[in-house]
């Protein structure tokens, strides 16, 4: 398997009775191709495996702890009937292309068990091994070839396969004259089930549960809907008696959670559109606002069409991207309509005004949109699991913003000119019919006087402008008198806020902590426990959980499963050997219960006193699945060093405090019984190791004789032979008698029974032996901070230099995300922006000034985190900073473009800057306010259900995106101050420097001219 390409990590585990190898591929891999490659390599390795091993199986593994839905069957019917229904449903559900696998909890495989009485074996003079071989040699279908008679060709076969239990019972194992001894004479033959290895209960009642896992990338809502429809269809085909007796329930339905989250986000899209439109109507009037509003549905539909063409579906990342885009995609339309509005207020005809707006603002809008797209473009190449999770955001934004450019420069001007002429005609007709109404065609703004004041046109004077704009111009005029001081203050503020956040901020986290809909309790206990002992412990824990629910009613479902999880949970073996079962809790609606942390803390308090039992509480993960957040992997070429090092790390966690639910994969205490054969003594009795081993198997799981397929089963059923239960004890191991060449001999004559420490499970990663320590952190503590503390402790702990220590889990993913976002994506985005800006302005200073505004906008991000008391999220906060970079440049581009045009006609740089401020104040504030208002419901955590007319706060969908929205809102708010004050000051500073240089050159050039004249 080392030769397969695209493998991120290869992990292997060897355990009693089996082994598995798990290949983790890079995110975004082709699962079908990977499966084919793995199967091909496994086929090549098969000849090297021992002859008595089972056929190796290749499965696609889903590491999620939570299936998308659990279908439970329960009722007062025989176990066999319930299992038959469950297996039939499993086969049908697995036939759906969206389903990865369906695992049955509470299932037991059927078998035909032959309980041979050792006393009867001896009395008939039989040997167990001879009896086994006799049965094996009789359960065959022999293809005896073909015979060509010259008159035809006929195949010959000898059918000897068992077809019914009676065939097995009447199977002769010894004949003496006319007397025949059959299997039924020496033992009991019965059809039953293999020894139980797992149990399943729902709400404390026994059930058969079908845990349904979907394939990666499939639509959860559609998948669960198909499963529900298929189960309903199958149920109609059951016999009426079964339909009435068997109850079918759907638990842990993830589609409900996703649907609720999508509804919350859809409500936020509507709220964002309404808030944006209210502001635009207030500022520009109904007619202009109507034109701006057209950009929203047009851009949305285009973006959704692009996603559909790419084979992608709507999800919560797409919906949040639309919320983020609401305020951004109207920027271009606002700039165009505002310019046309201003020109019409100066007397231009609508057609000419919109034509001028489209031409004049084309390059600034194209440049601003291009720089915004440049910010999001690198995010499309985000590698890893997190990149696959977030890739929908740049795709959606690029598609919608590109569409908004077309809307702003083509559709809005065209419709504006046409609608204005239609409106003018209607007004003219009404004016002719009703002359006393004194109707006049609209000339632009809802308030023409404000429009004229804001225009700052050549005909007007800046001193005449009053109101808010006048106040802004007075403040700006004061700043322009000390531009260098303003710039120095901005830089000091930038550094100061970073230092303040480092001292008083909440630190750094990988992903926001989202209120879960489910939790899983992993119940652990150590020792050589039988499955019945495990189930008794699980019932005790389950009873306490049900008692909590009876008192508080905070769980919709309590689903208990005793025993190991199957292949869907980790490739065929327990994730940890000491897990004796899982209890999955499905919470009630988030608004009707306490926080999950409080509920799990109460569970911990109620189960803490259970001796020898540990209840590990795991909340459903938000975002990419990474397991426990703190994971320390120890690797070495000298495996004997690892257990001691693991113990030291666990000691460090205890000393530092704040680490909870810690676990490691050292060998657990326990014993294995080892049967040591004295070969010399055994040779005296002509007993081989194979004979002894098969004899010992008779007191454990038995010897497999073969299979048979009855008419009432779709699967082959094993036939196993062993001794009755009374003989299957540890004490009987010494007194088992085996048939040798000298007769029946107790194996205690040449076999010594010894109790040895259990070997446990051996783990490897990329070919090296490893051990891992995993832990959660206590509520209220940051994983990043605790991981750094632990890393420093390990460095000072003096572990053996031959041990390599690696932090995995959240720490690893956080570093990868941080390196990509701030080491690659942001620098690449800034470089592309710089190229666009230099091309647009033909000025390195202008490009640097705009990029400096981008850097300065991070001050607002950290101010927002300090105000709201949130930590800086590497994923959400990092995306917010990059998104902010694309948004901040827009206003600066339009501002500097206007300044470059005006400075050629104005008498001084100062006058040009003031007039630029007067003209750009309204569009800058409008574009800023629309973007902020679009995201404000997310920042406040408010969700308005317009259908049910319900207002809620703190919904999980809000928790997902609050960090990102906070970063953009506060960053953009602060960046607006930069645009309106710091950017003009920087332009003024450049003008002052140029004036100073010109004055320095003037005396020199004047003196040279005078000398030449003399």
Q: What confidence tens digit (pLDDT) does each residue in 134-144 have?
A: 888 888 877 77
Residue 622 has pLDDT above 80, yes or no: no
pLDDT at residue 456 above 70?
no
pLDDT-based confidence at residue 439 (cuts at 50, 70, 90): very low
Query: Does 903 have pLDDT greater than 70?
Result: yes
Secondary structure in 3-state letters for 974-998: HHHHHHHHHHHHHHHHHHHHHHHHH
What was the pLDDT predicted at 647? 92
Q: For the ranges 58-67, 216-225, 680-689, 933-942, which has the lowest average pLDDT?
A: 58-67
User: What is the tens place of the pLDDT at every residue in 342-383?
Assistant: 888 887 888 888 888 888 888 888 888 888 888 888 988 888
8 Å CB contact between 306 and 347:
no
pLDDT score, position 206: 83
pLDDT at 897: 86
250-265 pLDDT tens trace: 887 878 877 877 787 7
The pLDDT assigned to 826 comes to 87
Q: What pLDDT shows up at residue 32?
A: 81
The pLDDT, as a whole number, for residue 1013 is 47
- Angstrom distance (rounded) from CA 514 to CA 352: 53
The more confident residue out of 583 and 705 is 583
User: Looking at residue 372, what is its pLDDT?
Assistant: 85
What is d(CA 841, CA 987) in angstroms, rounded to the nearest whole number?
Answer: 13
* 159: confidence class by pLDDT, cuts 50, 70, 90: confident
95 pLDDT higher than 80: yes
Please give the pLDDT value at position 631: 92
pLDDT in tens, 397-436: 888 888 888 888 888 888 888 776 665 565 455 555 555 5
pLDDT at 572: 37
Among positive and negative, which fits the CA dihedral 843, 845, 848, 853? negative
**pLDDT (mean) for 972-998:** 87
DSSP H or E segment with residue 81: helix 79-94
Question: Helix 909-940 vs helix 874-902: angle between axes, to the nearest 10 degrees?
Answer: 150
* Residue 457: pLDDT over 50: no
pLDDT at 544 over 90: yes
Containing 856, the helix (H) or strand (E) segment is helix 844-856
| Predicted confidence (pLDDT) per residue in 199-214, tens digit | 888 888 888 889 898 8
Q: Average pLDDT, stretch 461-479?
A: 79
pLDDT range class, residue 277, cuts 50, 70, 90: confident
pLDDT in tens, 790-848: 999 999 888 888 999 999 888 888 888 888 888 888 889 889 988 988 888 888 988 88
CA distances from 760 to 21, 80, 667, 790, 979 (A): 17, 34, 5, 27, 65
Predicted confidence (pLDDT) at residue 575 exceeds the cutoff of 70:
no
User: Chain centroid to CA 842: how far?
Assistant: 44
> CA-to-CA distance for 926 and 928, rounded, in angstroms?
5
Q: Is the pLDDT assigned to residue 451 strictly greater than 50?
A: no
> Which percentage of the chain shows pLDDT scores above 90?
11
pLDDT above 60: residue 229: yes
Q: Is-contact 964 879, C-beta < 8 A? A: yes
Q: How confident is residue 603, by pLDDT bands cut at 50, 70 and 90?
A: very high
pLDDT at 431: 55
Q: Tell me what pLDDT residue 311 has.
A: 79
Query: What pLDDT sits at residue 547?
Result: 92
Distance CA 369, CA 406 (A): 11
Q: Report the Cα–Cα distance between both ends of the chain, in Å, rounded.
A: 93
**What was the pLDDT predicted at 583?**
92
pLDDT band at 66 (very low <50, low <70, confident <90, very high): low
Res 567 pLDDT > 70: no
Q: Is 719 helix (H, G, I), strand (E, B) or coil?
A: strand
CB atoms under 10 Å from CB of 466, counted, come to: 11
pLDDT at residue 565, rounded to an integer:
53
Structure tokens given for 535: 């189930």
Cite the beta strand spans of 117-266 per DSSP E.
Answer: 141-148, 153-159, 172-176, 179-182, 187-193, 199-202, 205-206, 208-214, 247-251
Q: 463 falls in which pLDDT band (50, 70, 90)?
A: low
Collapse the DSSP code of 52 into the 3-class scheme (helix H, G, I; strand E, B; otherwise coil) and give the result.
coil
pLDDT band at 469 (very low <50, low <70, confident <90, very high): confident
Ordered alpha helix ranges (H), 560-619: 596-607
Do 79 and 88 touch, CB atoms closer than 8 A? no
3-state helix, strand, coil in the chain (%, to 5): 55, 20, 25
Q: Are strands 508-509 and 872-873 parallel, antiparallel or unpaired?
A: parallel
Query: What mean pLDDT comes out for the span 862-876?
Result: 88
Average confidence (pLDDT) over 627-639: 89
Closest to 829 in 3D by CA, of 509, 380, 329: 380
What digits encode the pLDDT tens for the residues 41-58? 999 998 898 877 888 988
Q: Is the pLDDT of residue 40 over 50?
A: yes
Q: Where are the alpha helices (DSSP H) in 730-778?
A: none
- Mean pLDDT for 639-666 is 90
Distance CA 878, CA 824 (A): 12
| Residue 718 pLDDT greater than 50, yes or no | yes
Tokens at residue 117, please? 């009485």
With 0-12 / 13-18 / 19 or more C-beta atoms within 10 angstroms meaning exposed / middle / buried, residue 410 is exposed
């Amino acid at each position: 398997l080392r030769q397969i390409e695209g493998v991120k990590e290869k992990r292997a585990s060897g355990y009693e009775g089996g082994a598995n190898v798990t290949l983790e591929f890079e995110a975004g891999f082709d699962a079908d191709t990977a499966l084919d490659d793995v199967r091909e390599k496994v086929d090549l390795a098969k000849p090297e495996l021992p002859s008595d091993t089972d056929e190796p199986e290749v499965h696609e593994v889903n590491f999620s702890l939570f299936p998308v839905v659990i279908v439970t069957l329960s009722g007062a019917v025989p176990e066999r009937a319930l299992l038959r229904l469950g297996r039939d449903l499993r086969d049908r559900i697995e036939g759906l292309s969206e389903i990865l696998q369906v695992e049955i909890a509470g299932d037991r495989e059927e078998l035909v068990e032959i309980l041979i009485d050792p006393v009867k074996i001896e009395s008939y003079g039989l040997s167990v091994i001879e009896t086994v071989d006799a049965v094996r040699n009789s359960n065959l279908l022999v293809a005896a070839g073909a015979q060509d008679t010259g008159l035809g060709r006929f195949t010959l076969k000898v059918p000897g396969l068992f077809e019914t239990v009676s065939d097995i019972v009447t199977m002769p194992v010894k004949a003496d004259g006319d007397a025949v001894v059959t299997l039924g004479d020496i033992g009991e033959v019965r059809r039953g089930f293999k020894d139980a290895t797992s149990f399943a209960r729902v709400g404390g009642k026994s059930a058969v549960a079908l845990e349904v896992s979907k394939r990666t990338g499939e639509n959860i809502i559609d998948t669960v809907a198909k499963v529900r429809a298929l189960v309903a269809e199958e149920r109609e085909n059951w016999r009426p008696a079964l339909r009435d007796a068997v109850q079918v329930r759907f638990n842990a339905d993830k589609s409900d959670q996703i649907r609720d989250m999508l509804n919350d986000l859809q409500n936020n899209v509507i709220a964002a559109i309404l808030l944006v439109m209210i502001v635009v109507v207030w500022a520009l009037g109904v007619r202009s606002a109507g034109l701006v509003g057209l950009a929203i549905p047009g851009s949305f539909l285009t973006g959704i069409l692009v996603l559909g063409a790419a084979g992608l579906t709507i999800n919560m990342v797409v919906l949040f991207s639309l919320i983020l885009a609401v305020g951004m995609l109207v920027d271009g339309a606002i700039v165009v309509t505002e310019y046309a509005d201003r020109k019409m207020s100066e007397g231009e005809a609508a057609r000419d005004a919109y034509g001028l707006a489209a031409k004049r603002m084309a390059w600034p809008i194209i440049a601003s949109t291009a720089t915004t797209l440049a910010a999001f473009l690198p995010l499309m190449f985000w590698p890893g699991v997190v990149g696959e999770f977030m890739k929908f955001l740049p795709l959606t934004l690029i598609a919608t913003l590109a569409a908004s450019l077309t809307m702003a420069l083509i559709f809005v001007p065209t419709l504006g000119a046409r609608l204005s002429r239609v409106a003018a005609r209607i007004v003219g007709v009404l004016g002719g019919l009703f002359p006393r109404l004194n109707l006049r065609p609209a000339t632009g703004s809802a308030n023409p006087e404000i429009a004229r004041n804001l225009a700052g046109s050549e005909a007007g004077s800046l001193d005449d402008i009053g109101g808010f704009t006048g106040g802004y111009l007075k403040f700006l005029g004061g700043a322009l008198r000390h531009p260098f001081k303003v710039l120095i203050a901005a830089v000091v503020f930038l550094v100061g806020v970073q230092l303040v956040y480092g001292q008083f901020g909440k630190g750094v986290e990988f992903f926001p902590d989202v209120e879960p809909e489910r939790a899983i309790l992993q119940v652990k206990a150590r020792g050589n426990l039988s499955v019945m002992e495990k189930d008794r412990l699980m019932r005790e824990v389950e009873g306490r959980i049900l008692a909590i629910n009876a008192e508080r009613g905070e769980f919709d479902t309590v689903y208990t499963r005793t025993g190991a999880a199957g292949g869907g949970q980790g490739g065929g073996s327990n994730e940890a050997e000491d897990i004796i079962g899982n209890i999955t809790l499905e919470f009630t609606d988030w608004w009707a219960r306490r926080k999950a942390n409080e509920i799990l803390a109460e569970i911990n308090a109620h189960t803490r006193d259970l001796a020898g039992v540990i209840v590990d509480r795991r909340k459903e993960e938000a975002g990419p699945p990474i397991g426990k957040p703190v994971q320390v992997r120890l690797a070495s070429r000298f495996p004997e060093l690892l257990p001691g090092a693991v113990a030291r790390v666990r000691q460090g966690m205890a000393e530092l405090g704040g680490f909870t639910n810690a676990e490691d994969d050292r060998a657990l205490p326990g014993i294995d019984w080892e049967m040591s054969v004295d070969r010399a003594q055994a040779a005296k009795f002509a007993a081989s190791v194979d004979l002894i081993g098969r004899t010992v198997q008779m007191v454990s799981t038995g010897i497999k004789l073969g299979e048979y397929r009855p008419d009432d089963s779709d699967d082959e059923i094993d036939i196993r032979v062993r001794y009755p239960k009374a003989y299957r004890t540890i004490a009987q191991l010494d007194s088992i008698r085996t048939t040798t060449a000298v007769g029946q001999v107790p194996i205690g004559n040449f076999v010594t029974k010894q109790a040895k420490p259990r070997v446990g499970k051996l783990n490897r990663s990329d070919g090296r032996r490893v051990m891992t320590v995993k832990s959660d952190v206590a509520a209220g503590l940051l994983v990043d901070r605790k991981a750094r503390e632990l890393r420093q402790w390990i460095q000072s702990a003096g572990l053996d230099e031959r041990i390599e220590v690696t932090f995995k889990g959240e720490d690893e993913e956080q570093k990868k995300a941080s390196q990509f976002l701030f080491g690659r994506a942001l620098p690449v985005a800034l470089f592309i922006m710089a190229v666009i800006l230099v091309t647009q302005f033909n000025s390195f200073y202008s490009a640097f000034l705009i990029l400096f505004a981008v850097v300065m906008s991070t001050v607002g991000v950290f101010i927002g985190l300090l105000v709201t008391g949130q930590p800086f999220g590497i994923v959400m906060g990092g995306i917010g900073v990059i998104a902010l970079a694309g948004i901040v440049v827009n206003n600066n581009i339009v501002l500097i473009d206007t300044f470059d045009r005006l400075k050629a006609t104005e008498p001084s740089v100062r006058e040009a800057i003031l007039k630029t401020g007067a003209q750009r104040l309204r569009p800058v504030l409008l574009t800023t306010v629309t973007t902020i208002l679009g995201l404000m419901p997310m920042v406040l955590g408010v969700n308005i259900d317009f259908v049910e007319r319900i207002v809620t706060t703190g919904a999980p969908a809000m928790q997902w995106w609050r960090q990102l929205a906070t970063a953009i809102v506060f960053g953009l708010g602060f960046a607006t101050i930069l645009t309106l004050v710091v950017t003009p000051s920087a332009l003024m500073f450049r003008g002052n420097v140029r004036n100073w240089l010109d004055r320095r050159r003037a005396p020199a050039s004047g003196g040279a001219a005078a000398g030449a004249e003399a």
